[in-house]
Structure 1
Amino acid sequence: MADPKGFLTTPRQEAPRRPVEERVRDWAEVHVPGGLLPIVGAQADRCMDCGIPFCHEACPLGNLIPEWNELVARDDWRAASERLHATNNFPEFTGRLCPAPCEAGCVLAINQPAVTIKNVEVTIAERGWAEGFVAARPPGRLSGRTVAVIGSGPAGLAAAQQLTRAGHTVAVYERDDRVGGLLRYGIPSFKMEKSQLERRVAQLVAEGVRFRTGVEIGKHLGADRLRARYDAVIVATGATAWRELDLPGRELAGVHQAMEYLPLANRVCEGDLEVSPLSAEGKHVVIVGGGDTGADCLGTAVRERAASVSQLDIYARPGDVRDEAAEPWPTYPKLYRLSAAHEEAGELRTAPAADADARLFAASTLRLTGDADGRVREVHLVEVDAERRPRAGTERGLPADLVLIALGFHGPERRADGLADQLGLGTGERGGFARDATFATEVPGVFVAGDAGRGQSLVVWAIAEGRAAAAAVDRWLTGSTRLPAPIGAHDRPMEV
């Protein structure tokens, strides 16, 4: 540890955000460019270099957090970049998008604010790119074995990079027109600009990964032909089958899934469209669902200049501090957190009737009603108790011209005679494709990685799955492997 008293003398300081009035006028990332550099060294100094660093256990990648904290505190950015990339293929993704379970497991968090691990991580990643520490690492020789990866989200990209570096020839098949999966079309640019994704894709191409976009396996290319062409296949299609809102009025025009809405906004940023066909401009927007996807819809609607935006969360407002009895350290606690989108909505008062920022807590949707033309005009909701039972006399309505359903996902898509049927994939835990502890399916040579097997999860778990599945495939192809396997297929986060 660089400063033995850093955790005692230095308070936690977060990455500064641009002023709300400025950032809602564009789609650039919300943080001040370069704003972390003046403060991150002192923040890294708060790390206590614990004898048993629980941040390792809280992170599925097993990131060497105390090591790169000390290197940053000592201003050794090259070594910090090397230690960071030793366990994480894409730290600029996790440093922006991960909710940081490592910080919940920080030993300092027992009685103080945790070390800003996520901020240190993204700063190392950016410094690595700026200083040229991050470079392509093509293999010294080829194995003669071939692998197909279906899906180019974080799990698929991580698996592809690991296997390519091991000497195998890897092709990634993506049904969309661009690489990235949800990183490309699900995550708004104000959370992660797509240049972050593009430079990683360029690195993978330089290392030898081949990308095939606009190809849906099971539709444009049969699964049998794919298996015949490659020695192994990794299914990393994600968990994109969304949960529905089965209520009266769902059929009304103006009611859409979040993942129908968000990709169009991203395509505007890509230059494919001038205006989104589902733009929230001038509309009263109600988002059903209190999670991260709902918050992404919120920030997007604010930037599209919605007349109002409200977000409904069926859970009660979380507390501001950890409930030690229900969620003891080092588990990840459910707390009231103010994302950038919620900060914007609160300051701009997009939902005057909300409990806090744009959110209405303990709110359950009853029905949707519309006008004579069949367009949605109002969302009817009721307050519920902890058991989700309606409270008498609390029913009310919210004006709505656009309703966005953000209730999460229940597993990978299963289309008749599609990929799953053609490969003969069964159903496993949490609705994912069935696999054993080594990520292998019952079909020889076919493996499953990421949300397609785990179910809806975090970007850090997706990368860990991609790395571990790559190790399993390498072992299956060659009989042994030197690739790291940070998790097993059935591992889960620390829970009570």
Structure 2
Amino acid sequence: MGNPKAFLSVPRKEAGYRPIHDRIHDYGEVEQTLNSNDRRTQASRCMDCGVPFCHWACPLGNKPPEWNDALFKGDWQLAYELLTTDNDFPEFTGRICPALCEKACVLNLMDHNPTTNREDECAIIEHAFSEDYVQPRIPSRNGKTVAVIGGGPAGLAASTRLNQLGYKVTVFEACESAGGLLRYGIPNFKLNKAIIDRRIALLEAEGIEFKYNQNIDSTKLPKGYDAYVVATGTPTARDLSIPGRELNGVYLALEMLSQQNRVLAGMQFKNNELVNAKGKDVLVIGGGDTGSDCIGTANRQGAKSVTQIEIMPKPPVGPEDPNSPWPNWPRTMKTTSSHEEGCTRRWNINSLEFLGKDGKLTGVKVQEITWEPNPEGGRPIMKPVGKPEIIKADMVLLAMGFLKPQHPQFQDNVFVVGDAANGASLVVRALASGRDIAEEIDRKLSH
């Protein structure tokens, strides 16, 4: 390491977010960037660990000590080459990854101020694009073909790896553009879609063929390919089947999020088709990242008020989680940029009934609950506390996760990857799954 003691004198410095009064009025990315000198200084904090747990924590096996050292020394091109050895799309993870590597950083154990790996990663890849380090790599072909069903993170990762190994890759995407959840689930204020377009253009220049608006039935895969990658994600959201679900004003989270992203891309919708929170009291049911994205989007659309409820207990306020100690991921209270922009948050709240008038939602009957240990083991028992109450709401957004898909018995040249195989998870895990499946396909087709 260039300066193995820098962590003793250099404090952690994050780029931070744009001011709330500024960012709340647009869909531009909320996160700011440090200048290159400050970024290199932050990279110097990566200490010469005996055991770098960041390697272990990252599903991709990312190696922050190596590329942070190159960044600190000003060798941006080497940093880029080291970074992309493991991570095919650092421009995505550098923006939206929860940075498991930082939670496993030895500095996080010492003083809860880990190296700024995620921001460093984003800076490296953006510098690489601006300096034209990123150029199309045209591989020699091996005469074999692979069909990838789904152009989300896992499908894209599998595609680029297979393409570089010499396979002719065709991506069949059900939507009008590639990206999957990156494009149609994650708001622009977290990931500008021009970042995705830039990468897709590069993949096309490298020889990957994209076919859009192709809703492929996994039981009727297109013929003529040597192998198939099923990367269809988790298309079915977890619904809430309680009385009043049919009322106008109750939506699945992605009905709002995907539509808003399409609107920003120039697509037009009729007024009666719009899922818009302007002037409404919005209730978000679900306390995860998707719920947070709904909050930020609702506020930007001009919601009158936003409330978020979660059926599970309030997580402990960090930075440490006794039940999941370092270097594991701490399940602590998370406050996102969207939460900072304004919402009421409540925990241990169970939804009982959607209430309405003349077919339109007016509120939700909820019940405060508590969780008690199950004497027989397994899931704790939910018990009501006090009396039910009504939360006023013109709009409800259901953000309770996604159902793990079920697949038929495939032939041995069909490989299920990412969320389609494992259920909804992190983008970085989908990328790792896509990369690993490409290696598995290559081993199979090479023999």
Task: Give TM-score scaled by structure 2 length.
Answer: 0.94
Structure 2 counterpart of 1:19, which letter? Answer: P
- Residue 238 (structure 1) aligns with: 233
Partner in structure 2 of residue 60 of structure 1: 59
Cα distance in 1, alignment partners of residues 244 and 307 from structure 2: 18
Letter in 2 for 1:217: I
What is the match of residue 260 of structure 2? Answer: 265
Matched, 1:393 2:386: yes
Gaps of 5+ in 2: 373-380
Give the Cα–Cα distance (whole angstroms) in 1 for the partners of residues 263 and 156 of structure 2.
24
Please identify, of 386-395 and 286-295, the stretch whose mean Cα deviation from structure 2 is larger: 386-395
CA change 1:138–1:312 in 2 (3 A) is same
CA contact (8 A) 2:70 2:79 kept: yes
The alpha carbon displacement at 1:322 in A equals 4.4
Aligned to 2:10: 10
Partner in structure 1 of residue 44 of structure 2: 45
* Match in the other structure for 1:125: 125
Q: 1:249: which partner in 2?
A: 244
Match of 1:314 among 306, 311, 315: 311
Q: Which amino acid aligns with 1:389?
A: M
Asked if 1:22 is matched to 2:8, the reply is no
Q: For residues 314 and 125 of structure 1, what CA distance do their matches in structure 2 show?
A: 39
Alignment of 1:26-425 (within 5 A): 26-32=26-32, 34-35=33-34, 37-112=36-111, 113-139=113-139, 141-218=140-217, 223-224=220-221, 226=222, 228-273=223-268, 277-323=274-320, 325-345=322-342, 351=343, 354=344, 359-371=345-357, 373-387=358-372, 389-393=382-386, 395-412=388-405, 420=407, 425=408
TM superposition shift of 1:324: 5.0
**Matched position secondary structure for 2:183:** helix
Aligned mates of 1:49, 1:380 — CA distance in 2:
55
Contact map agreement 1:152 1:236 (CA 8 A) in 2: yes
Q: Secondary structure at the match of 1:382?
A: strand
Note if contact 1:174-1:216 (Cα within 8 Å) is conserved in structure 2: yes
1:382–1:390 Cα contact (<8 Å) kept: no
The answer for unaligned runs of 5 or more in structure 1 is: 346-350, 415-419, 427-441, 480-496
Q: Distance in 2 between matches of 1:91 and 1:49?
A: 23
Say if 1:306 and 1:325 are closer, same or farther in 2 by CA, change over 3 A.
closer
**Is 2:31–2:190's contact at 8 Å kept on the other side of the alignment?**
no
Q: Match for 2:255: what amino acid?
A: E
Cα-to-partner distance string for 1:74-104 (whole Å, 9 max, x where unaligned): 1110100000001000001011111111111
Q: Secondary structure at the match of 1:223?
A: coil
Output the amino acid matched with 2:434: G
8 Å CA contact 1:36, 1:123 repeated in 2: no
Answer yes or no: is the 8 Å Cα contact 1:155–1:464 preserved in 2. Answer: yes
SS at match of 2:61: coil
Tell me the amino acid that sits aligned with residue 348 of structure 2.
A
**2:382 alignment partner, SS class:** coil
Deviation at 1:386, TM superposition (A): 3.5
- Tell me by how many angstroms 1:396 deviates: 2.1
Aligned partner letter, 2:362 = R
Structure 2 Cα separation of the partners of residues 211 and 302 of structure 1 = 35
Determine if contact 1:81/1:125 at 8 Å carries over to the other structure. yes
Pick which of 150-159 and 46-55 moved more.
46-55
Which amino acid letter does the alignment assign opposite residue 106 of structure 1? C
Query: Is this contact kept in 2: 1:172–1:212, CA < 8 A?
Result: yes
Alignment match, 1:474: 442
Match for residue 451 of structure 1?
Answer: 419
Task: Tell me the matched-pair count.
Answer: 436
Q: Is the 8 A contact 1:29 1:193 kept in 2?
A: yes
1:261 positional shift? 1.4
Distance, in Å, in 2 between the alignment partners of 1:363 and 1:284 is 18
Offset from partner CA, 1:392-420 (integer Å, 9 cap, x none) = 325322111110100001123x6xxxxx5
Distance change (3 Å), C-alpha of 1:389 and 1:445 = closer
Q: CA RMSD in A?
A: 1.6
- 1:368 deviates by 1.3
Amino acid at match of 2:402: F
Q: Which amino acid aligns with 1:286?
A: L
CA distance in 1, matches of 2:261, 2:337: 18
> Which deviations, in whole Å up to 9, do the C-alpha atoms of 1:400-446 show, x marking residues without a partner?
1110100001123x6xxxxx5xxxx24xxxxxxxxxxxxxxx51211
